Amino acid sequence: MDFLWIKAIHIVFIIGWFSTLLNMPRLLSHLYATGPRTESSFEQLRLRSMAKSLHKFMLPLMFGTLGFGVWLWMGSGIGQDPKSGWMLAKLGIVVFLLGYSHYCGMVLQAFEEEGASKTQRWFVVFGAIPILLLTAAIALTVIKPF
């Protein structure tokens, strides 16, 4: 497959994965705002269903991003020369985002088992993490500062 096609597909998967990473904290915030798990309302049931569906949708997008990213990295030699510290930093961001994706599922599972335990402020900070990391990854990829 042509290098540019692989890159284009990789970007599409990145956009999809980040759309789930940006929306999951919002959904979880609204879910936690509905109150304890024991007070299941129609809104809470709907939000739980949406969060579960979004998390299931997140996984194939994440794996597509990783698969095509590794294909680009290994197949084209991008970031493999000794002066590619930016690639190591970007890979660190990707590893952190993998953990973030997993943690989103853990927060959802915790609500399912225990109910609401986070604050609104916690969700504001939690929801800002992916956009900050996306900005850093883009800057590293385009500018290649080190």
Pair 58, 17: CB distance under 8 Å: yes
Of the listed ranges 23-32, 59-68, 94-103, the one predicted with least confidence: 23-32
Contact 136, 94 (CB under 8 A): no
pLDDT band at 39 (very low <50, low <70, confident <90, very high): low
> If you search the block for the tokens 């990391």, which residue do you land on?
133
Q: How far apart are CA 40 and CA 22, in angstroms?
A: 25
Which residues neighbour 20 within 8 Å (Cβ) at sequence distance 6 or greater? 54, 55, 57, 58, 61
35 pLDDT band, cuts 50/70/90, is confident
**Confidence (pTM):** 0.88
What amino acid is encoded at 51 in this protein? A
